[in-house]
A and B are shown apart, each in its own frame.
Chain A
Amino acid sequence: MRPRWFTPWLYLLAPLALLVTFTYLPVLDMIGYSFTDWDGLSPTSDVVGLHNYTDLFTRPELFQVFTVSLFYLAGSAVQIAAALYFATVLSFRTRLRTLFKGILFFPYLINGVAVGFVFLYFFQPGGTLDTVLHQVGVGPRLWLGDPDLVNPSLAAVSVWRFMGLNMVLFIGAIQSIPPDLHEASALDGANRWQQFRHIIAPAIRPIIALSAILAISGSLSVFEIPFIMTGGANNSETFVIQTVKLAFTFDKTGLASAAAVVLLLIVLAVTWVQRRLFPDERVELT
């Protein structure tokens, strides 16, 4: 019984319908909306050309969300460095290894709203952090109320939440290195740093590159934690919070779409650059 030509399409019917309806159609629609002044509700809308785009790039209050991303980007760098350190340490003999690994990883599994509340309480004036810092003589600060402190505080929550995930991924990669490589280098008298530098780092380069790329697109699309904790107040508004507000609170679907197109283009550009820099680490699909 040879399969007929349409057999594979029977299996692909549902997946392709979903793919087109929820990925490709929205992208096309969004590009269309971005050239109009549509409010998302009324049956009519006018084509306004590039007006929404010029708005985005010339009104500083709309553009300022990009500077917020920089804090999260810096947080990602800290996160990847810490994850590399702990992954290396926990890949070798260490007392209570499983326990440490479990503790550091667990935040990743916690519900985002719960994480938001945990840290809202943690950063409260006179809250947990102030209490702990009081022991070492640091006075209370307005961690979420001070426009200079709010973004570092929120970025730190991101690091707290996602460092363990990066660490577990790095541990997985390190464990796929043949163990005799470590033994051979230890016999040659290499210390831990030299082992990391010459064996571990090159072997897990693809996953580090992948983490870096996810960190960049992640930093641009932060939403949950700042939305739950501050609602975007005090300079903490991110790109996605702004887009959601424009579209669903202020009914500026056209402007929100233009913002989303810009975000999409940045993410695609970053991915493209990464593919050019690491061509051999392409995701294999075929």
Chain B
Amino acid sequence: MRAVKYVCLVAASAVVLVPLVAIVLTSLRTSREMADQSPLAAPADWFNLHNYVVAFTDGHMLRALGNTAFILFFSVLGTVVIGSMTAYAVDRFRFRFRRVVLAGFLVAALVPGVTTQVATYQIVNGLGAVDTRWAPILLYLGTDIVSITIFLQFVRSIPVALDEAARLDGAGSFTIYRRIILPLLRPAIATVVIIKGVAVYNDFYVPFLYLPDDSLGTISTSLFRFKGPYGAHWEVISAGAALVIIPSLLVFLALQRFIYSGLSAGATK
């Protein structure tokens, strides 16, 4: 029974790792080695970074990193501000149509973004945002119901007595939000930053549709377009793919525990 367990674990790990190892090995080969070697053979020179240099420069990876960083920064910042404000307003105030507003966010969670893209495109186009980096930012902000739910859960767990004490001391609602609620929301903010960050860094659909201009390529779309000119040169394409995977790996190794707990917190809603 225990042996079966380890056989399964090792087999599954091999299934995960073999395709990735093949890419890394290939990325270290010269184009001559490509012709006569099996995909899993070792490269002659383990430090042959030539393909990485080609992928980095010809794939415009620096520009792509810049574009992705810009979109990532504003999307994540905006998601935190908008999600926390919505949660604060809905949980701490009693007002007319409060339930309607809540239902509005809840029902929106049922509409998958991919289904409405045809019409959304016309709206973004009408706003003149297509082919600007604000288009993906607006879309990431406008459709993030998950983060609102995460914030709502956390705000609910903050005792109302704290607000009331501050209010007696003369604090206005914004002071309460900024000085009491936001600092106490730190764990929720970490969760949202991680979930949103991963989603934005890896998204392909939105930048592909809304940023057709080459100079606005993100990590995803730049890598996608890079394949065209290097169609058959797998050693260079592999290096490009490896380049894009490396930041994810580093972030994962550094933040492992937070990523696991963040995802669990996000999923139970």
Listed in ascending order, the chain A residues whose CB lies under 8 Å from chain B are 1, 3, 5, 7-9, 11-12, 14-16, 18-19, 21-27, 29-30, 33, 40, 82, 85-86, 89, 94-95, 98, 100-107, 109-114, 117-119, 121-122, 124, 127-128, 131-132, 160, 164-165, 168-169, 171-173, 192, 206-207, 210, 217, 221, 223-224, 228, 240, 243-244, 247-248, 253, 256-257, 260, 263-264, 267-268, 271, 283-286
A30 vs B20: C-alpha distance when bound (angstroms): 41
Contact of B115 with A1 in the complex, beta carbons under 8 Å: no
* B96 CB to nearest A CB, Å: 8
Contact of A268 with B39 in the complex, beta carbons under 8 Å: no
Q: With A24-B108, A86-B9, A110-B248 as given contacts, are A257 and B227 in contact (CB-CB < 8 Å)?
A: no
Contact of B114 with A223 in the complex, beta carbons under 8 Å: yes
Residues of chain B lying within 8 A (CB to CB) of residue A103:
13, 16-17
Contact of A169 with B89 in the complex, beta carbons under 8 Å: no
* A166 CB to nearest B CB, Å: 9
Residues of chain B lying within 8 A (CB to CB) of residue A112:
202-204, 220
Contact of A128 with B39 in the complex, beta carbons under 8 Å: yes
Contact of B106 with A285 in the complex, beta carbons under 8 Å: yes
The digit string for B109-135, where 1 denotes a CB below 8 A from any CB of A, is 111101111111111000000000000
Residues of chain B lying within 8 A (CB to CB) of residue A228:
204, 224
Tell me, yes or no, whether B245 is within 8 Å of chain A by CB. yes
Listed in ascending order, the chain B residues whose CB lies under 8 Å from chain A are 1, 5-6, 8-9, 12-13, 15-20, 22-23, 26, 38-40, 82, 85-86, 88-90, 93, 95, 98-99, 101-102, 104-106, 108-112, 114-123, 138-139, 141-143, 148-149, 152, 167, 170-173, 177, 198, 201-205, 209, 219-221, 223-224, 227, 234, 237-238, 240-241, 244-245, 248-249, 251-252, 256, 259-261, 263-264, 267-269
Of the A-B pairs whose beta carbons lie under 8 Å apart in the complex, a sample of 27, sorted by A's number, is: A9-B95, A14-B82, A15-B85, A15-B86, A21-B123, A22-B139, A24-B104, A26-B116, A40-B122, A95-B6, A103-B13, A104-B16, A121-B26, A132-B40, A169-B263, A171-B260, A172-B263, A172-B264, A206-B268, A224-B205, A240-B114, A247-B118, A260-B115, A267-B110, A283-B149, A283-B269, A285-B105
- B18, B109, B201, B241 — most chain A CB neighbours (10 Å): B241
